[in-house]
Amino acid sequence: MKRILAIVKNKFFLVAVAFLVWMTFFDKNDILSQYQYRQQVHKLKQERDFYKSQTEKVSKDLDELTSNPQKLEKFAREKYLMKKDNEDVFVIVKEDKEQ
């Protein structure tokens, strides 16, 4: 018991404990901040991967549209409802059955 009490009263031990408490809870880079930074990095990596995949998809679509006139015509008809002068366009919209 005296040995433990002597260790606790040691000024180097007290300074070390105070330092650890300060670095763990009160410093600007404390444990909570580090956890939040890791979460933010994870979220940003997911967004980066999503946007990379979207960029690849759009690049592929652009290559197809610029190289194939039939694809370009199909895209214009479906996406922008374009038509030739002698055609009629009918848009069919499916309704939800829950309503």
Find how far residue 29's CA is from the centre of its chain.
23
Select from 71, 91, 68 the least CA-distant residue to 81: 91
Q: Which has more confidence, 29 or 67?
A: 67
Per-residue pLDDT band for 58 (boundaries 50, 70, 90) equals very high
Full-prediction pTM beyond 0.75? no
- Predicted pLDDT of residue 87: 81
What angle in degrees, to the nearest 10, is found between the helix axes of 2-9 and 11-21? 60
pLDDT tens for residues 59-85?
Answer: 998 898 889 888 888 888 888 878 888
**pLDDT number for residue 99:** 57
Asked if residue 95 lies in contact with residue 88, where contact means CB atoms within 8 angstroms, the answer is no
| Mean pLDDT score, 74-97 | 81
Q: Is residue 91 a contact partner of residue 81, using CB atoms and an 8 Å limit?
A: yes
Q: Which residues does 64 contact at the CB level (< 8 Å), separation at least 6?
A: 71
**Given this model, what pLDDT does residue 60 score?**
92
pLDDT at 26: 82
